[in-house]
Structure formats: structure tokens, C-alpha cells
Amino acid sequence: MQTRRAFLASTFAASLAEGAEKPNIVMIYADDLGYGDLGCYGHPTIQTPNLDRMAARGMKFTQFYSTNPLCSPSRTALLTGRYPIRSGINVVLFPDSKGGLPSNDITIASLLKGRGYSTACVGKWHLGHLPQYLPTRFGFDSYFGIPYSNDMSPATSANPNRERKNSWAPTPLMRDDKVAESEPDQAEITRRYTDEATAYIAKSARAKKPFFLYLAHTMPHWPLAASAAFRGKSARGLYGDAVAEVDWSVGEILKALEKAGVAKNTLVFFSSDNGPARLGLEGGSAGLYREGKATTWEGGVREPAIAYWPGRVPAGVTTPAFGVTMDLFTTFAKLGGASIPADRPIDGQDISDVVLKNAPGREPLLFYYNQGALRAVRSGPWKLHVSACCTQPGGADRAYKDQAPPLLYNLEIDPSERHEAAAKNPDVVTRLLALIESHKKSFTPGAPQT
């Protein structure tokens, strides 16, 4: 297995023309945004003209996944290209957590930096806030942002971790590895991240060096906030205001790329870390999908995703091709001419042919983890839940329970997971259970960091 992987890694690098101009890559990640929350995914009253235009001139995915339905593990997968339990990031990190991303983990920022990229992280990190876990230790030249969730402050009265929170520090806004401000005004945070990102784009373009910008918005994670220009402007309430400001930010990024003259050499990818928080009107919409954040129903992991690169990403394509955030690690590495690490399993696959050539995509084989446990698998059209919560649509039962027999759905014909089909397809159940067993045997979780 290692031999084959090393071989693939070397041919992979060799296949790239050494002299080719390296594209800039901008990854924009929203927080807790649901599949149904954008105009181009059918939301009726949240207006997202910039993202809609990006989709109309680029590629919109309808079967793109977050690797995990929670913030910290989801971001681990995006940046390391691996199931997050390989890194031991199994649940969400808190301000009193002592752990974070293991020091030997390799992020896409490190890989691209090794190929001559300048790199910046702006926004929510959430892979450890202690000095040894910050973005600048993982390949990012600079960092500006709130290092964990915006509700993790003693000032946030409704935080469920009531007893712990009294020991927490005020919400920090960091510049590189220093706290620059305490309890920054969150209504200004989207605008400030955007200013930082657009300045970085202008500076990097002037330096004539390829760049990787990871802009991870704090919004629309609860507690919701928007600047004066957006507050009260959306018909969808404060949630819609916050999404509208993220959409504005996307427009500013695209404008900054144009202004700096690098739009035609920059891939912009937009997605969200997990499905909508199930907070009633303060959470988003999963559209036609069942449930939301912190579940392995489709509402927890199926994400809006848009790829944009004028002249390179085919325009106006809506693709059902499969993709998962882990794949972006491998895909960005390929675009930047970096070899993926050969000394460890990398779970993400290269989907550059989907993004650049509208290829049909790889076999959608995906294991769903939540809270460090494997809950479900998708293979082809089928999804098997071996452990599920909230088994009635909209049900209040939030605890995960082993499902015996497991629950089977055909996601291609039944994306809303309404028609359980195990009894009619025993052979599929058997095959998927075998896939899970085989995966577990070949798989070594890392020591828990959370």
C-alpha cells in the first residue's frame, strides 16, 4: 500500500510541467451555512447575488460534502486531506482545550508554501488556539482572526457549556500568534476579515508570487451579527443579514482579484464547514436535506460549493459530481505543483478534472464520522447509517444510537432520506457493512486531541 502510494505521489508530481505558472488559490469557507441558504440553491429570501453570479460563471456542486458535520474536525479534513480522526480532532475544541492539530500534520498551506506560495489564513481557525497550534505553525505566513467559535466567550450568555465558560478568556482576535484585541465587535468581523483578505490579495499580486488565501468566515455561526450596512436589511432576519454580508465579502474578493489583475490566474472555491445549526430561526436551512449540523444525515454534511476561475472552470455548470472537502487538499496540491505526502495515508482525491473539465467525478465512497465514530457510509447512490440520531424527521431525539438493522437510503432518487430501503436491498446492506469493516481494519485513528 505504501509502495503504491509513493509511486503515485512521484508520478503525480512528475506529470506537472515544472515551468507552468502556478495559479493562486482562494478558499472561502462559511461557518454553519446550510445547503439551502443561497439564492442559487433555492433560498427564497436570502439574496446572494455575488455567489449566484460566481455559480452562473463557474461550477455549482450539488453533491459536495464536508468530511465531518462539526467545526474543528471539518477544518482538519479540509486542511490535511484526511479523515479528521486520523489527527485525533474528533469533536469541537473549546477555549479551555489543551489540544489542537498534531505538530506533524501537514496542511495544504505547508505544501503550497514548499512550492513557492505565499500563504495567509484569515478568519476562524479552530484547530487549537495555544501557540503551538496556530496557523503560523502550519504553513501560513500570516494569520488574522478569531481562533475558535464566536460563541465561546464568557460574554456569550447562552453557551451550553455554562460551568466551563466562567474560566474562559474573552474572545480573542489574533494577529499571527498574538492576541490583538479582546472581544472584538462581531458585527464588524466579516468586514474586517474582508479588508484583510483584499489587502493581502493586492499585496501578493504586487509581489508577483503565487498565493494561497484561506478565508474562513466566522459568520453565519451563532451569535449572529452583521455590520450597520447589512443589519436589518435582509428579509430573512439577522441570519439573512449575516449571509448577505458574507456574500458581499465574496464580491469584494472577486473585485480585488480583478483589480489586482490576477482573476484569470486564480481558482476561488466557496463552501461551508458543515450544515446549518439547528437553532430554529437563528440557524440556516438544509434545503431538501434532512436534519443539520452535528448529524450525519445529509443536512449535516451536504454543502453548497462553487468553483470559479474565469477561462478555466467551465462556466454555468451545475454538476452532481461528487466531492468532499478532503479532496480540496489533494486538488489544490496538484494545481500548485506540490506532491502529496507519501509517508501517510491521504484520504482526499484529486478532483481537478471535475473542476476544470466537468468530468463526471470519482466513485462517491465516503465514510461519515461524527464525534469520532463512524456513523454511515455512502457508496454510489447508497447511504447506510449504522449509527444515527433523530431518527424521525424533525425528531427531538438527538442521541446517536446503533442502528440494527442499519438504515439504507438511495440518495440519488431519495436525497431527503425519507424512504428507508434496507429490507428491499439486503445485498447492498451486506456490501456496505463489509466496506465499513474493511475500512476499519485498514484505518488507524490518531490519539484524541479534543
Active site residues: 71, 126
393, 405, 426, 448: residue in contact with a second copy (rule CB under 8 A)? 393
Q: Which is nearer to a second copy, 284 or 336 (CB)?
A: 284
36, 58, 220, 337: residue in contact with a second copy (rule CB under 8 A)? 36
Q: Could you give the count of Cα atoms lying within 13 Å of 374 in the half-sphere of its Cβ?
A: 21
Using DSSP's 3-state secondary structure scheme, residue 420 falls into: coil
Nearest one of 50, 32, 79, 48 to 253, comparing CA atoms:
50
Q: How far is the CB of 254 from a second copy (least distance, A)?
A: 14
Give the DSSP letter of residue 65. E
Segment near a second copy (CB under 8 A), from 47-55, 73-81, 96-104, 325-333? 47-55
5, 13, 16, 52: residue in contact with a second copy (rule CB under 8 A)? 52
9, 62, 233, 445: residue in contact with a second copy (rule CB under 8 A)? 62
**375 contact partners, CB below 8 Å, separation of at least 6:** 296, 368, 369, 385, 386, 387, 388, 400
Q: Which is nearer to a second copy, 67 or 450 (CB)?
A: 67
Does 35 participate in binding a second copy (rule CB under 8 A)? yes
14, 17, 281, 399: residue in contact with a second copy (rule CB under 8 A)? 281
7, 42, 258, 426: residue in contact with a second copy (rule CB under 8 A)? 42
Residue count, binding to a second copy (CB under 8 A): 44
Q: Which is nearer to a second copy, 241 or 252 (CB)?
A: 241
CA dihedral 58, 59, 65, 71 (to 10 degrees): 10
23, 39, 135, 145: residue in contact with a second copy (rule CB under 8 A)? 39
Q: Which is nearer to a second copy, 237 or 251 (CB)?
A: 237
9, 155, 288, 422: residue in contact with a second copy (rule CB under 8 A)? 288
Give the DSSP letter of residue 341. P
Q: How far is the CB of 361 from a second copy (least distance, A)?
A: 12
Nearest one of 298, 279, 274, 295 to 287, comparing CA atoms:
298
Look up residue 187 and give its amino acid: A
Segment near a second copy (CB under 8 A), from 43-51, 260-268, 333-341, 400-408? 43-51
DSSP for 286-340, please give it.
Answer: -TTSSS-TTSSSHHHHEEEEEEE-TTTSPTTEEEEEEEEHHHHHHHHHHHTTPPP
- The reply to whether omega before 405 is within 30° of 0 (cis) is yes
In angstroms and rounded to an integer, the radius of gyration of the C-alpha atoms of the chain is 21
Does 20 participate in binding a second copy (rule CB under 8 A)? no
- In the chain, the largest separation of any two C-alpha atoms, in whole Å, equals 62
x/- binding map, residues 404-423, to a second copy, per CB under 8 A? -------xxxxxx-xx----
Q: Which is nearer to a second copy, 63 or 370 (CB)?
A: 63
Strand-pair partners of 323? 64
Residue 178 exposed, middle or buried by CB count within 10 Å (0-12, 13-18, 19+): exposed
Does 40 participate in binding a second copy (rule CB under 8 A)? yes
Q: Which is nearer to a second copy, 25 or 428 (CB)?
A: 428
Does 278 participate in binding a second copy (rule CB under 8 A)? no
Distance CA 362, CA 321 (A): 7
* Residues 233-252 close enough to bind a second copy by CB under 8 A: 235-237, 239-240
* Residues 363-392 close enough to bind a second copy by CB under 8 A: 381
Segment near a second copy (CB under 8 A), from 40-48, 136-144, 170-178, 207-215? 40-48
**152 contact partners, CB below 8 Å, separation of at least 6:** 94, 95, 159, 165, 168, 171
Distance CA 223, CA 32 (A): 11
271, 285, 330, 331: residue in contact with a second copy (rule CB under 8 A)? 285
Does 426 participate in binding a second copy (rule CB under 8 A)? no
Write out the residues near a second copy by the rule CB under 8 A.
Answer: 35-36, 39-45, 47-49, 52-53, 56, 60, 62-63, 235-237, 239-240, 280-281, 285-288, 302, 316, 318, 320, 381, 393-394, 411-416, 418-419
